[in-house]
Chain A
Amino acid sequence: MGNGTLETAAPTEARSRNRFRDGGRWMGFASAVPPALVAAWLLSLLPRVSEGRPVLWAVDWAPTLGVSLAFRIDGLALLFGLLVSGIGVVIMLYAGSYLKGHVHLGRFFLYMTAFMFSMLGLVLADDAVALFVFWELTTVTSFLLIGFTHTDPKSRRNALQALLLTGGGGLALLAGLLLMGLESGTLRLSAMDPVLIQGSALLPGIIVLVLLGCFTKSAQFPFHFWLPNAMSAPTPVSAYLHSATMVKAGIYLLARLSPTLGGDPLWVWSLTVAGALTAVIGAAWALRQTDLKQMLAWTTVMALGALTLLLAGSAPISLAAAMTFLVVHALYKATLFMVVGILDHEAGTRERDKLAGLARAMPLTAAAAVLAAFSMGGFPPFLGFIGKELKYEGALALVAAPGVAAFGLVLASAGMVAVAGMIAIDPFFGRQRKSVSARPHDPPKSMLAGPLLLAGLGLAFGLAPGVISGPLVQPAVTSVLGGPATVKLALWHGINLPLVLSIATFTLGVLFYIFRTPVVAGLNAFVGRLPMTGERAYDGWLAGLKALAAWQTRILQGGHLRVYMATTLGAVVALTLFTLFWADALALPAAGSPSLSILGVTVAVTAAAGAAIVVTTRSRLAAIGALGIVGTAVAVLFLMHGAVDVATTQFLVETLVVVLLAAALVRLPRLTQTPRRNRRARLRDGILSVGAGLTVTLVMLAVLAEPFDRRVTDFFEAAAWPEAFGRNIVNVILVDFRALDTFGEIAVVAVAGMGAYALLKGGMAVPKQPIESLILRTATRGLAALLAVFAVFMLLRGHNDPGGGFIAGLIAATGFTLLALAHGVGLARQALGGAPRIVALSGLGIALLSGLAGALAGGAPFEGLWLFLGGDPAAGDKGIPLSTVLVFDIGVFLVVVGSVLAIVFGLEEEA
């Protein structure tokens, strides 16, 4: 670090390469309009809010979860909102000229605007979840902005670092906010009861989680290192994100939650220690930098530390100090970043030791720099002076270690004085060096207006502090305090301890500046001996994480099907069994219901025996036969318990499975060709299999032991006839009540058919010789025709009696399959009259249209429409029913026929 190459794109590489006539400066003006409007709107709210009447606006977002998109503009939100939008205007104007000609200018302003609105959402949100969403939106948009120069690997690395740290912190924050919501019973930040939360046993956890979020975002020690690294962003981004907005999000939230969480010793001490350390580290590291932008970044770290430190307390004066310093810092820091950008732009470098004597060539830039630096150093009569006096007063009013805090602040502020000198005096005064570009000059007005305006405000507010104290600072302090407060800002406070500390600061700061060379050398020597830095810890953590990911990928995803299966099954079995035992859910149904029947047990044992044969046999034919036994036995079990339609379907499917297997297996290698598993694999697979079986049985027993809830079934039974005009309840559910589900299911069937067709059609289609059997050939023609007629019969009667589209489709498919087996696929195709996949897709279309008809007629999609022909109401005869439901069932029928036959024909034709 520490040289001008960090930010490569902006001034050099990409100039004059976009397609806009004036290089895109108009975009800066255009982008400044939205923040200007927002700022004007917020200003118009100022009188109302400063009277203590916050502006509320909310819409439901996820009402069942209590989440709403709620916004609330109180003093604190208004202060931050004005900073975000006001400085936004200035930065947008500046960026238009700064990045003039950049190829990705449009993208830049898109990111910036997105970021700005995320940030506004964050500070105005009142709902914890909404706040979190905006919080992460700022993380994501700032990732895009930090990595804007995406061709530079360093830029990408730094963007990722910021994303991981602040994104990770954001997750912790979410957990913390949700816990707060649980404890207080509301997600509205303004409605959370401090008493409930402070009394909660979870308070320490809440504080740690929330602070993790705030500290990562606001770059507090030990997460401070990402902020200086984020300087690889173009300078306008640094000026905006890293001075006025993004990093202040953590500070904002600390202030926002201060009434709820403040006062707890954990909170107070965490903020004090982290804040003081961050402030001192920031100041010391700032002095060491040779790159002016890096130097400013570290002073931001210092400022964030000071703010955190001040928010540790709950005395009005500490909070007033924090809020005032917030304004001070935003004004001078944005100015100085923009000045450094101008130097980079016009003089070609940001290196401290290469810049000198530029005041004559760039008088206005120098003026802005000096004005801002005075405010930064805390000299009277600038607002910075008031801010600093208040800081000392506020630090002395802290609960935890006020002396140490004040001492730390004096040290850090002295560093600021020295840095102010290095930034405002060194580059502009003294003798000009040769290393700068030949003719440095002041930049165009749009680039100068912002810095001059903000620096001027720093002076104006210092001279007339009443302009901001009453309308802005006081309402903000009131919000943070959770009660009324009076804040009066003044330049002269009389001779008191803060004044003495101020004088000490100036003296020390000037000494630092005069002896800057030895001071910096001493600091560098000290840093060189540090055993560990946050940066190195981050690198180590990241490397460890990657190694862990690589390790578990190697173990779990080694590319072996059986390992995937075993891992997945093992995890499911272990977790389910653990839950069963842990929740003590093992149970036996009170009395087996219905009672055992000899037939039932026999059939079940037959099924189990069939399964045993499939497992043990090495003969393909035996396995197919045994599979058929299992399926048929299961179908009988369905039949025994009143499931006629299911049993019929199962019988038909079993038939087709056997046919398919028989057709395909002839061409597949024998089972004996694959080696048996070794003893270790047998043991592992055995344990897994028994575990899986045990899990299924135990879960089922636990389910059966529970009382049964018949509500849904009762509804279907009661509504099937009066509402859907069907006597077969199963079919009515399929084609009417749950027709949308059924549509999804036939879509799956169609996709499976198409997929199989696509897999099989590759290569030459050489029809297999049909089976040579005269009896079969003669019988099948008649049988196939009979099956086709029967299928139509089953389809039509399905709504009132066992049958329906699925069953009819399977019956028809069986008929065509028979035909294909006996006479070859050619004849079967002829008989079908069209390609099976076309049949299936037509069916899907018909089903969809019938569903849409219901919606077009004003009902819900897939709601049935009925027409009764020639009815005789007196005799209780409704007549011949015609309905979209029947059309739907025809669609189902066609899908099943087409999909099954696509596969059967495909397999049969395979050479």
Chain B
Amino acid sequence: MDVVLALLAGVLAAASVWLMLDRSLVRFLFGLALLGNAANLVIFASGRLTEGAPALIAKGAAAPEGDVSNALPQALILTAIVISFGLFAFALSLVHRAHKDLGTTDSETLTIAEGSDRT
């Protein structure tokens, strides 16, 4: 199963890079959202997969019994999801504002609209 996740992470990363290289900033945002998913999959699978139970300790026990999922990458991903959501929302607001002020979401036109000190 972990090989499947490795492949999926690759596919998501490739799709995200393709989208982020687009001239349209809206598609850039789509790419950003996908990139977060790809990264989280990478972290998750790197902590090894278990078919087992969640990382919970049963009542009365001092430690989890049997094979439970690795809690460490989960803790990392949990915050990563929220942070990448924050980043995504911020980028969305940025694009929104750029569109409002400069009237475009085309990154090439944006270069011209912002002006450039290079000739």
Residues of A participating in the B interface, judged by any CB pair closer than 8 Å? 554, 558-562, 565-566, 569, 588-589, 592-597, 600-601, 604, 607-608, 611-612, 614-615, 620, 623, 627, 630-631, 634, 637-638, 640-646, 649-650, 653, 656-657, 660-661, 664-665, 667-669, 671, 673-675, 677, 681, 685-686, 688-690, 692-697, 699-701, 703-704, 708, 710, 712-713, 716-718, 720-722, 727-730, 733-734, 738, 741-742, 745, 748-749, 751-753, 755-756, 759-760, 762-763, 800-802, 806, 810, 876, 896, 899-900, 903, 906-907, 910
Residues in A whose Cβ lies below 8 Å from that of B24: 671, 673-674
Complex contact B50–A642 (CB within 8 A)? yes
A701: which of B3, B97, B108 is its contact (CB, 8 Å)? Answer: B3
Complex contact A734–B79 (CB within 8 A)? yes
Closest approach, in angstroms, between the C-beta of A662 and any C-beta of chain B? 11
A642: which of B41, B46, B53, B83 is its contact (CB, 8 Å)? Answer: B53
Residues of chain B from 1 to 15 with CB closer than 8 A to chain A in the complex: 1-15
Complex contact B79–A806 (CB within 8 A)? yes
Complex contact B6–A614 (CB within 8 A)? no
Complex contact B23–A674 (CB within 8 A)? yes
A-B contact pairs, 17 of them (CB 8 A): A559-B118, A562-B21, A607-B37, A608-B12, A612-B15, A614-B15, A649-B81, A668-B96, A669-B104, A692-B13, A693-B17, A696-B6, A700-B6, A720-B57, A721-B57, A749-B83, A755-B90
A755: which of B27, B61, B68, B93 is its contact (CB, 8 Å)? Answer: B93
Residues of B participating in the A interface, judged by any CB pair closer than 8 Å? 1-24, 26-27, 29-30, 33-34, 37-38, 40-42, 44-64, 68-72, 74-75, 77-79, 81-83, 85-90, 92-97, 99-100, 104-108, 110-111, 116, 118
- CA distance in complex: A623, B6 (Å): 24
A sample of 14 more A-B contacts (CB under 8 A), given A650-B81, A721-B63, is A592-B1, A593-B1, A594-B2, A607-B8, A643-B54, A645-B54, A660-B89, A673-B106, A689-B21, A701-B6, A734-B75, A756-B93, A756-B94, A802-B56
Residues in A whose Cβ lies below 8 Å from that of B83: 745, 748-749, 752
- CA distance in complex: A540, B83 (Å): 50
Residues in A whose Cβ lies below 8 Å from that of B56: 727-729, 800-802
Chain A residue, CB-CB nearest to B51? A594
Complex contact A730–B74 (CB within 8 A)? yes
Residues in B whose Cβ lies below 8 Å from that of A660: 88-89, 92
Complex contact A756–B90 (CB within 8 A)? yes
Residues in A whose Cβ lies below 8 Å from that of B93: 755-756, 759-760, 903, 906-907
B37: which of A600, A631, A745 is its contact (CB, 8 Å)? Answer: A631
Residues in B whose Cβ lies below 8 Å from that of A681: 21
Residues in B whose Cβ lies below 8 Å from that of A701: 3, 6
Complex contact B13–A752 (CB within 8 A)? no
Residues in B whose Cβ lies below 8 Å from that of A592: 1-4
Which of B18, B81, B82, B85 counts the most A-chain CB atoms under 10 A from its CB? B82
Closest approach, in angstroms, between the C-beta of B79 and any C-beta of chain A? 4
Complex contact A559–B41 (CB within 8 A)? no
- CA distance in complex: A184, B80 (Å): 46
Complex contact A685–B21 (CB within 8 A)? yes
Complex contact A643–B74 (CB within 8 A)? yes
B14: which of A637, A665, A689, A759 is its contact (CB, 8 Å)? Answer: A689
Which label, helix, strand, loop or mixed, suits the secondary structure of the A interface?
A: helix
Closest approach, in angstroms, between the C-beta of B94 and any C-beta of chain A? 6
Residues in B whose Cβ lies below 8 Å from that of A722: 62
Closest approach, in angstroms, between the C-beta of A560 and any C-beta of chain B? 6
Chain B residue, CB-CB nearest to A686? B18
A594-B79 in contact given A560-B111, A634-B41 (Cβ < 8 Å) = no
Closest approach, in angstroms, between the C-beta of A290 and any C-beta of chain B? 45
Closest approach, in angstroms, between the C-beta of A599 and any C-beta of chain B? 10
Complex contact A712–B41 (CB within 8 A)? no
- CA distance in complex: A806, B88 (Å): 17
- CA distance in complex: A566, B20 (Å): 9
Complex contact A649–B54 (CB within 8 A)? no
Complex contact A696–B82 (CB within 8 A)? no
Residues in A whose Cβ lies below 8 Å from that of B44: 638, 641, 643, 646
Residues in A whose Cβ lies below 8 Å from that of B100: 763, 910
Residues in B whose Cβ lies below 8 Å from that of A745: 79, 82-83
Residues in B whose Cβ lies below 8 Å from that of A753: 86, 89
A729: which of B29, B33, B38, B57 is its contact (CB, 8 Å)? Answer: B57
A697: which of B6, B46, B81 is its contact (CB, 8 Å)? Answer: B6
Closest approach, in angstroms, between the C-beta of B9 and any C-beta of chain A? 5
- CA distance in complex: A600, B8 (Å): 11
Closest approach, in angstroms, between the C-beta of B53 and any C-beta of chain A? 6
Residues in B whose Cβ lies below 8 Å from that of A601: 4
Residues in B whose Cβ lies below 8 Å from that of A806: 78-79, 82
Complex contact A716–B72 (CB within 8 A)? yes
A641-B42 in contact given A696-B13, A734-B79, A752-B89 (Cβ < 8 Å) = no
A703-B46 in contact given A560-B108, A627-B33, A696-B13 (Cβ < 8 Å) = yes
Complex contact A623–B85 (CB within 8 A)? no
Residues in B whose Cβ lies below 8 Å from that of A689: 14-15, 17-18, 21
